[in-house]
Structure 1
Amino acid sequence: MKSLPSPKARPDALRRLRNLKMARSAHAYMRGNTSQFYEWLEQADIRTLPQGPAIWICGDCHTGNLGPVANGRGKVEIQIRDLDQTVIGNPCHDLIRLGLSLATASRGSDLPGLTTVHIVEALAAGYESSFRAGKQAHLGKRPEPVHVIMREAERRSWHHLALERIEDLKPTIPLGKRFWPLARAESAELASVFESPEMVELATLLKGRPDSGDVTVLDAAYWVKGCSSLGRLRYAVLLDIDGDVVDGDDLCLMDVKEGIKAAAPRYRDASMPRGNAERIVEGARHLSPFLGDRMRAARVLDRAVVIRELLPQDLKLDVEQLSRRDARKLSAYLGAVVGKAHARQMDRAARGRWFAELRRNRSKTIDAPRWLWDSIVELVGAHEAGYLEHCRRFANGG
């Protein structure tokens, strides 16, 4: 086996890996550039964005951060699945970032420019459907890419999770491309964290597990996962509940992820938890209840972390390649998912005001807010240029 980076060599190795991942495609570059997204948005030559209601937003609302999420009772819904950037802020930021993600995927799929117009129109229509007066948010019929991944999520078991994440059914985490060795201090700290009553309660949360079950750390490793999260603390921890490792229901795989300061701008007068991990958990509870109820804030090596159990049904929606037929339906559906997450935080009057703002000042050439279209056009251009420059610098391992 190729020698794996030591804990001391880990930061440089992760930096190189992140740069290479972002060079794979313009869509991957967009996903890994949350902070630059907000810098570009601030500098873009567009009309002033509307000041939407002060609610919890995702802050990094691209297609890869949406997908099937299960609750503790096994019910599965499409929800926002990554809340690292969540803040109380302007909901139009989520809509613009999701539109940029879909437009970038369309460009990467070599679809005509007119398809991007249709994507933005469908996204706006799907999002607005959650705010219509007197109507309860309804996502409608699932488009084919969503139907496929939901069908896969609903049939998955612990064995699927084990084979996918840890490549084995044995109660260990194999070191290799995905998992790297820990320093002694990291191993000791993680073992200590999962002795706390709060983490024991989190591990026994799922239906059918004994509330008083003993929780034991079987194995742990540094997890090389994602793109935007590379370089932060990220651990996979395998737990046994009640001493019966033969039964997959008594095993759980915990994701321990460092919470860092959000790049997404917050409303200045918004009251949020001061700690980054607490902020992420609180935002998740408002935006994605299935996920938020399964998350806890903690500290590892004196750094804020968010801990959640990975369930077999938790999957990422992969839309690297879009067909012209799926593009509009998928955009409308995902717009409705985000709209539902936003709308549940507003009363009827606030939903009505925001809907009226969304419908205001439409042009004759596109049935979507002009600020949404202008933002996406400006940002697609900036990302294309940024992506090419990134490839020049890093695609060869620089």
Structure 2
Amino acid sequence: MGEGFASDSGQSTSKWQERRASGRAARQRTPRGTQEAVGDVDRDPIELLRINSMGRVPALIPLRYGRMLASPFAFFRGSAIVQAHDLASTPSSGLTVQICGDCHLSNFGGFATPERALVFDLNDFDETAQGPWEWDVKRLVASMAVAGRHLGHGRAGSEALCFEAAQSYQQHMREYAEMGVLDLWYERITFDRMYDDVQNEDVKRRIKRGSERASRRTHEKLLPKLADRSGDAWRIRDAPPAIFHIRGASTLVDEDDEWMKLEGDSHTILTPLIRDYVSTLTSERAALLSQFALQDIAFKVVGVGSVGTRCFVLLLTDHLGKALFLQLKEASTSVVARYVGATKHTHDGHRIVHGQRLMQAASDPFLGWASGPVGRPLYVRQLRDMKISADLETFSGEAFRGYASLCGWALARAHAKASGCALEISGYLGSGDRMAEVLVRYASSYADQVEKDYDAFRLACRSGRLMARTDADMAADFAA
């Protein structure tokens, strides 16, 4: 996408038809049937995981692997680098757009817009970069296949999930191809809209229950769960290995780590970082943030794939003692950029924020980026404010298929908004079931490969090639 205005001729009816035709023409270069290839799987997944673990806090890498051991789907979640490696050798339509880069089914969820409306959307952008749109769709359908099998829906049931997600992506992309630019920019998948559209009563109950849960997941409710009050001050409560003060008795950070060598207290160390971060906010949001005072900062272990990266939670309060929790998260090199090519952003925090603002229907008002005290790129967002995720373990087959359709819809909206290429992508996809069927075959074959890789990973952990520890194991070290 270039800068400035498009020319009048670029918006003509003939040009509109040419753009859709160019998407159809891409099928000649890359027939849709070739998209079922799983790519170059003649590689060592363990070595790729080691590469992806470089630069992380050493004591937390075993916890990352311990969380990945929980199931083939947990392994899949934590091994985005492996699929990116494999996808790099697969055919591409040639349409490069802003992609999520880690588009599995658990990286979708509900959260509040700045206007406090609850929407469903993508919610993780650590790997976002310019890349083939197919990569996101293939990671999504593969996640459906892997998770569906693990949760007992069988091969046929899992393939039905994949088809639902792929077909939903195709159908909604076709709708977005005919939508005006501003209409598309303002498009949101709200929970109210979802509730009205759904016919199944079980799904309706889940949407309503999700809305009620989200309304309770506020900073005010989170404060007594994460912190203790001492006089007028609040201090985050240590609960290792999940959360701890980096220079406290429960720390899991080595004494020779770069963060441990910094001089001064947390406020002194963070002042330049916060100033850097605030400069990336709009002026009115910077003014809003200026009314909060920093109370405490602690290291917080998050997710599966992110375990071991330097992530912190900042507790701030206003003049009434009302809390605001911000998450400060290390921005590592994108696995997409590693295999597709260099990103235009020299700062990985900026890369993540740019991708998130571009792809989401509405983004966190406190989303910004900064460089850490030792130069590591970081990004900042709110912690858990009205955020909810699907409880997949309790889904019936029908509810799961509805969720798969919802994920395909949300991904189509994100790609269409971010790229302006809905016409071309829709032209390539076509109107029949051909591409959805191809993606089902890809997902099924790749799920087979994930299960093989998971077995190799488990063997590496059992043999001592990799060290893996659970949260409970590490927590017991501090209880002893």
Q: TM-score with structure 2 length normalisation?
A: 0.69
Aligned 8 A contact 1:87 1:265 in 2:
yes
Going from structure 1 to structure 2, the CA distance change for 1:156 and 1:235 (only over 3 Å counts) comes to: closer
Partner secondary structure for residue 291 of structure 1: coil
2:72 maps to 26
* Aligned with residue 358 of structure 2, among 277, 283, 286: 286
1:7 maps to none
RMSD: 3.1
Going from structure 1 to structure 2, the CA distance change for 1:204 and 1:393 (only over 3 Å counts) comes to: farther
Bigger Rg over Cα: 2
Q: Confirm whether residue 16 of structure 1 aligns to residue 62 of structure 2.
A: yes
1:232 maps to 309
1:4 maps to none
Going from structure 1 to structure 2, the CA distance change for 1:195 and 1:351 (only over 3 Å counts) comes to: closer
Aligned 8 A contact 1:256 1:306 in 2:
yes
Partner secondary structure for residue 173 of structure 2: coil
What is the identity, as a one-letter code, of the residue corresponding to 1:240?
A: T
Going from structure 1 to structure 2, the CA distance change for 1:189 and 1:318 (only over 3 Å counts) comes to: farther
What is the identity, as a one-letter code, of the residue corresponding to 1:198?
A: V
2:397 maps to 324
Partner secondary structure for residue 119 of structure 2: strand
What is the identity, as a one-letter code, of the residue corresponding to 2:67?
A: K
Partner secondary structure for residue 346 of structure 2: coil
How is 1:78-227 mapped onto 2 (pairs within 5 angstroms)? 78-132=120-174, 133-134=177-178, 140=194, 141=197, 143=203, 145-163=206-224, 166=226, 171-177=234-240, 178-183=242-247, 185=262, 187=266, 188-195=268-275, 198=278, 205=285, 211=288, 213-227=290-304
2-side partners of 1:217 and 1:226: how far apart? 25
2-side partners of 1:268 and 1:109: how far apart? 33
Deviation, 1:130, is 2.3
1:6 maps to none
2-side partners of 1:174 and 1:269: how far apart? 42
What is the identity, as a one-letter code, of the residue corresponding to 2:311?
A: R
Partner secondary structure for residue 15 of structure 1: helix
Residue by residue, what CA displacement relative to the aligned partner does 1:302-324 show, whole Å, maximum 9, x if unpaired?
11000112253123334245421
- Count how many residue pairs are aligned between Structure 1 and Structure 2: 370
2-side partners of 1:104 and 1:189: how far apart? 43
Residue by residue, what CA displacement relative to the aligned partner does 1:196-248 show, whole Å, maximum 9, x if unpaired?
68179689849xxx74844322111111111111121110110123x321xx3
Deviation, 1:100, is 1.2
Residue by residue, what CA displacement relative to the aligned partner does 1:118-161 show, whole Å, maximum 9, x if unpaired?
11221122112222253577855354555543332134433333
Q: Confirm whether residue 340 of structure 1 aligns to residue 383 of structure 2.
A: no
What is the identity, as a one-letter code, of the residue corresponding to 1:194?
A: I
Aligned 8 A contact 2:281 2:366 in 1:
no
1:5 maps to none
1-side partners of 2:63 and 2:217: how far apart? 30
2:423 maps to 352
Residue by residue, what CA displacement relative to the aligned partner does 1:374-396 show, whole Å, maximum 9, x if unpaired?
32123211110111222233269
User: Which range moved further: 196-205 or 220-229?
Assistant: 196-205
Deviation, 1:70, is 1.8
Going from structure 1 to structure 2, the CA distance change for 1:218 and 1:12 (only over 3 Å counts) comes to: same
Going from structure 1 to structure 2, the CA distance change for 1:57 and 1:196 (only over 3 Å counts) comes to: closer
Deviation, 1:73, is 2.4
What is the identity, as a one-letter code, of the residue corresponding to 1:180?
A: F
1-side partners of 2:344 and 2:361: how far apart? 18
Aligned 8 A contact 1:64 1:316 in 2:
yes
Aligned 8 A contact 2:111 2:388 in 1:
yes
- Between the aligned residues of both structures, percent identity stands at 21
Aligned 8 A contact 1:224 1:230 in 2:
yes
Deviation, 1:39, is 1.8
List alignment gaps of at least 5 residues for structure 1. Answer: 1-9
Aligned 8 A contact 1:56 1:88 in 2:
yes
How is 1:377-388 mapped onto 2 (pairs within 5 angstroms)? 377-388=444-455
Q: Confirm whether residue 49 of structure 1 aligns to residue 113 of structure 2.
A: no
Deviation, 1:194, is 3.0
Aligned 8 A contact 2:311 2:330 in 1:
yes
Aligned 8 A contact 1:260 1:276 in 2:
yes
Q: TM-score with structure 1 length normalisation?
A: 0.82
Aligned 8 A contact 1:14 1:230 in 2:
yes
1-side partners of 2:397 and 2:156: how far apart? 10
Going from structure 1 to structure 2, the CA distance change for 1:68 and 1:204 (only over 3 Å counts) comes to: farther
What is the identity, as a one-letter code, of the residue corresponding to 2:163?
A: E
2:376 maps to 303
Q: Confirm whether residue 376 of structure 1 aligns to residue 451 of structure 2.
A: no
2-side partners of 1:273 and 1:201: how far apart? 17
2-side partners of 1:130 and 1:168: how far apart? 47
1:3 maps to none
Aligned 8 A contact 1:224 1:234 in 2:
yes
2-side partners of 1:384 and 1:127: how far apart? 26
Aligned 8 A contact 2:300 2:313 in 1:
yes
1-side partners of 2:416 and 2:357: how far apart? 14
Aligned 8 A contact 1:146 1:317 in 2:
no
1-side partners of 2:273 and 2:349: how far apart? 15
- Structure having the larger proportion of residues in helix: 2
